[in-house]
């Protein structure tokens, strides 16, 4: 290799040549040049390696910082173990949870940190020593804390860590502290339970309200026949006293003129003519009372009794009448119910539905003069349809879907529970029926109950 080929010597070798001077023999110089050249090559290689190494180092550091920052940012706890069951690495969440530093923990046996609980204690320790292909899920563990206690529950998952040839090298445990979650869940559950209880109370209240309306209607209905039975019996009692006086005079064989005077004074003839009417009226009153009682019995308020067939028209009629009787100024009521509306189920519940619909219609009319409620029925193949229409303001368009929601009410506090339609809807569904609402083109709301025909 010649100097021309290799160029002028550079680097520390050049200084060396200068020190040696130009007096060296040509051959010797050649040999030196080669040595110098080799040294130069080695030197530049070294330089390149160093630059390379520095670049790699920088990348490694970057990766390390990245991984460390990710591990530190994890809110889940992370523990890396070797096959010997010793801790190799933990993240910041572990330190935060336990109060130990990473240096305290690394090198310790996992069992010194982790207390296993749950259904299969020991499963985690076994997995760490012999990591399997499958992950170990949902171990319920607690971590020992620096102050000698234990942490809240941690829901731990464990998977194998493998080397570049895929052989297990250790395991990685990742867990989520669930104590807080459990507490929040328990609180939520308690809140839910008390809400459910409040709801049940309200449902009960609404049922009692509809029973109350029924009782008010029944009381009103009974009042009339009972009052005239009562009046008639009073009159009969007086008649009886008069007859007794007269009959005593007859039996005492009083003189005929005395008897005639008594007969006129006591109006015995008029009295005798009046008695059949009084008795007939009383009988009719008693019959009406017994009818009311009978129809009440037919409603059979036993909730879970077996389903029975009943006449929807009859149940609807009593419901409409008794509900309307409860208001001071009942509106114009029109009933158009055909024969043969035979349904199957619980008459008492269907009575409640109609009572709710009629009560809502009455509320919608709110004593409005000239208000009208129309209750009409149709038999349509195997379906029975009962429509309750009022001439009130109707249901607002954006409420058409929500009126059946529990607690939806537009009535002032204390006047509406918002449960009537929800209960009615559920009853209709329980009977394989439906309850729907639309606004009538001529004004007012129409609620339609359909039930299968028995």
Please report, as residue ranges, which positions from 360 to 379 form the binding site for Mg ion (by CB under 5 A). Answer: 360
**How does strand 383-390 pair with strand 434-439?**
unpaired
- Site membership for ligand ADP, residue 392 (CB under 6 A): yes
Structure-token match 């729907």, residue found: 436
91 — phi, psi (to 5°)?
A: -100, 180
Distance CA 253, CA 48 (A): 158
For the bound state, the minimum distance from the C-beta of residue 412 to ligand ADP, rounded and expressed in Å, comes to 10
For the bound state, the minimum distance from the C-beta of residue 412 to Mg ion, rounded and expressed in Å, comes to 13
425's contact among Mg ion, ligand ADP, none, with CB below 5 to 8 A by partner kind, is: none
CA-wise closest residue to 444 among 392, 404, 401, 406:
392
- Site membership for ligand ADP, residue 445 (CB under 6 A): yes
- Site membership for ligand ADP, residue 331 (CB under 6 A): no
* CB atoms near residue 346 (< 10 Å): 23
Q: Select from 135-143, 190-198, 233-241, 357-365 the region that touches ligand ADP (CB under 6 A).
A: 357-365
Distance CA 384, CA 450 (A): 5
For the bound state, the minimum distance from the C-beta of residue 401 to ligand ADP, rounded and expressed in Å, comes to 11
- Site membership for ligand ADP, residue 408 (CB under 6 A): yes
- Please report the beta strands in 122-240, taking only residues with DSSP state E, as ranges in sequence order: 136-143, 154-162, 168-177
Q: Choose between 111 and 439: whose C-beta lies nearer to ligand ADP.
A: 439
Structure-token match 């390149």, residue found: 48
Q: What SS3 string covers 92-124?
A: HHHHHHHCCCHHHHCCCEHHHCEEECCCCCCHH
Q: Choose between 316 and 421: whose C-beta lies nearer to ligand ADP.
A: 421
Q: Choose between 110 and 445: whose C-beta lies nearer to ligand ADP.
A: 445
For residue 331, give every residue at least 6 positions away whose Cβ sits within 8 Å of its Cβ, in sequence order, or none.
324, 362, 365, 368, 371, 372, 373
13's contact among ligand ADP, Mg ion, none, with CB below 5 to 8 A by partner kind, is: none
Q: Select from 87-95, 243-251, 317-325, 408-416 the region that touches ligand ADP (CB under 6 A).
A: 408-416
114's contact among ligand ADP, Mg ion, none, with CB below 5 to 8 A by partner kind, is: none
For residue 359, give every residue at least 6 positions away whose Cβ sits within 8 Å of its Cβ, in sequence order, or none.
210, 213, 323, 420
Q: Choose between 80 and 358: whose C-beta lies nearer to ligand ADP.
A: 358
Footprint on this chain of ligand ADP (rule: CB under 6 A) = 356, 360-361, 364, 390, 392, 394-395, 403, 408-411, 416-422, 445
Q: Which residues bind Mg ion (CB under 5 A)?
A: 360, 420
């Amino acid at each position: 290799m010649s100097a021309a080929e290799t160029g002028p010597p550079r680097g520390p070798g050049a200084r060396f040549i200068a020190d040696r001077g130009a007096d060296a023999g040509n051959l010797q110089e050649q040999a030196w040049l080669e040595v110098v050249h080799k040294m130069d090559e080695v030197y530049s290689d070294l330089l390149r390696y160093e630059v390379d190494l520095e670049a790699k180092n920088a990348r490694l550091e970057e990766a390390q910082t990245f991984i460390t920052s990710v591990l530190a940012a994890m809110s889940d706890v992370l523990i890396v173990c070797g096959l010997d069951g010793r801790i190799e690495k933990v993240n910041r969440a572990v330190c935060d949870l336990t109060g130990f530093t990473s240096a305290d923990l690394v090198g310790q046996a996992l069992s010194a940190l982790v207390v296993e609980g749950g259904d299969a204690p020991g499963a985690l320790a076994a997995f760490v020593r012999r990591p399997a292909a499958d992950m170990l899920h949902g171990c319920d563990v607690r971590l020992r804390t620096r102050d000698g206690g234990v942490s809240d529950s941690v829901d731990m998952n464990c998977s194998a860590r493998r080397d570049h040839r895929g052989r297990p090298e250790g395991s990685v445990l990742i867990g989520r502290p669930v104590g807080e979650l459990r507490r929040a869940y328990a609180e939520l559950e308690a809140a839910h339970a008390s809400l459910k209880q409040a709801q049940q109370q309200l449902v009960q209240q609404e049922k009692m309200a509809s029973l109350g309306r029924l009782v008010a209607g029944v009381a009103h209905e009974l009042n009339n026949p009972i009052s005239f039975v009562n009046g008639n019996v009073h009159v009969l009692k007086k008649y009886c006293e008069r007859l007794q006086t007269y009959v005593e005079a007859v039996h005492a064989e009083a003189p005929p003129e005395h008897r005639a005077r008594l007969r006129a004074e006591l109006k015995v003839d008029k009295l005798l003519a009046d008695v059949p009417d009084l008795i007939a009226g009383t009988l009719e009153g008693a019959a009406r009372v017994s009818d009311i009682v009978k129809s009440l019995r037919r409603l059979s308020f036993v909730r879970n009794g077996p389903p029975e067939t009943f006449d929807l028209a009859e149940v609807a009629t009593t419901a409409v009448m008794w509900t309307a009787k409860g208001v001071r100024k009942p509106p114009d009521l029109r009933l158009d119910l055909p024969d043969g509306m035979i349904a199957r189920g619980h008459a008492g519940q269907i009575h409640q539905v109609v009572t709710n619909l009629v009560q809502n219609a009455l509320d919608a009319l709110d004593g409005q003069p000239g208000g009208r409620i129309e209750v009409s029925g149709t038999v349509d193949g195997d379906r029975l349809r009962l429509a309750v229409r009022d001439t009130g303001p109707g249901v607002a368009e954006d409420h058409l879907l929500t009126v059946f929601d529990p607690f939806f009410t537009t009535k002032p506090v204390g006047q509406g529970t918002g449960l009537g339609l929800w209960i009615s809807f559920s009853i209709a569904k329980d009977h394989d029926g439906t309850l729907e609402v639309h606004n009538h083109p001529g004004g007012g709301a129409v609620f339609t109950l359909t039930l299968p025909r028995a």
